């Protein structure tokens, strides 16, 4: 079948999201330099990286639709990555306490047969409650979200940390804007479900 679907990601979260609309797809881990360019905004960075992730699979996946996605979390306008460990997660959540932080997600769909690329930016806003050190500690011990940007899992018990969430698609916050991806796939005549 032409135009089979491929996810350019090693994220188990993105894979789970994509399984909601497509039971059959391949995955690969794109090996790209994710360093920001000089004077590149967070928004520009995630779109560029999503496109690069999709493009890197074109040789190995001809006649495919390749999905690339990238996300960053910004606190006070500064990009923060995945904490990686408990101490960094405590710092991130303490810094986010009482604030609204932004998640920027780049999404790209590359048709390796035609060379056509669609890409876009989706945003999600997370407002945190005032977080006590004891709540932060209990949450991190419970969920251990050390591989998640912002140090939380909104789809899990991280919900206790929030005052409100704003965005068009809760999947965007997890890393793959599924509503917008459905539109891009329909534009390529890919059958959903």
pLDDT in tens, 13-62: 899 999 999 988 999 999 999 999 999 999 999 999 999 999 999 999 99
User: Does any domain span residue 192?
Assistant: no
Please indicate, yes or no, if residue 173 is contained in any of the structural domains: yes
**Residue 55 domain-assigned (yes or no):** yes
Structural domain containing residue 89: 4-187
- Does residue 115 come out as left (phi exceeding 0), alpha (psi in the -120 to 50 range) or beta? left
Question: Is 193 part of a structural domain of the chain?
Answer: no
Overall domain count for the chain: 1
- pTM value? 0.92
Tell me the catalytic residues. 70
Please state, in angstroms and rounded to a whole number, the distance separating the CA atoms of residues 118 and 107.
8
Which residue reads 């995945």 in tokens?
A: 82
For residues 31 and 21, give the distance between their C-alpha atoms in angstroms, rounded to a whole number.
Answer: 26
Residue range 148-185, pLDDT digits in tens: 989 999 888 999 999 999 999 999 999 999 999 999 99
Residue pair 66/29 in contact (Cβ under 8 Å)? The answer is no
Helix or strand run (H / E) with residue 49: helix 42-56
């Amino acid at each position: 079948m032409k135009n089979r679907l491929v996810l350019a990601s090693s994220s188990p979260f993105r894979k789970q999201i994509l399984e909601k609309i497509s039971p059959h797809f391949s995955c690969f881990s794109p090996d790209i330099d994710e360093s920001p360019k000089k004077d590149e905004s967070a928004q520009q960075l995630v779109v560029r990286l999503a496109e690069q992730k999709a493009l890197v699979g074109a040789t190995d996946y001809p006649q495919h639709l390749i999905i690339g996605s990238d996300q960053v979390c910004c606190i006070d306008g500064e990009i923060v990555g995945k904490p990686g460990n408990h101490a960094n997660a405590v710092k991130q959540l303490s810094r986010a306490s009482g604030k609204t932080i932004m998640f920027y997600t780049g999404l790209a769909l590359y048709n390796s047969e035609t060379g056509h690329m669609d890409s876009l930016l989706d945003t999600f806003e997370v407002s945190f409650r005032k977080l006590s050190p004891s709540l932060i500690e209990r949450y991190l011990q419970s969920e251990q979200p050390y591989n998640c940007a912002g140090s939380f899992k909104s789809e899990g018990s991280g919900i206790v940390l929030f005052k409100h969430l704003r965005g068009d698609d809760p999947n965007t916050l997890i890393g793959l804007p599924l509503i917008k991806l459905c539109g891009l796939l329909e534009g390529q005549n890919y059958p959903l479900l």
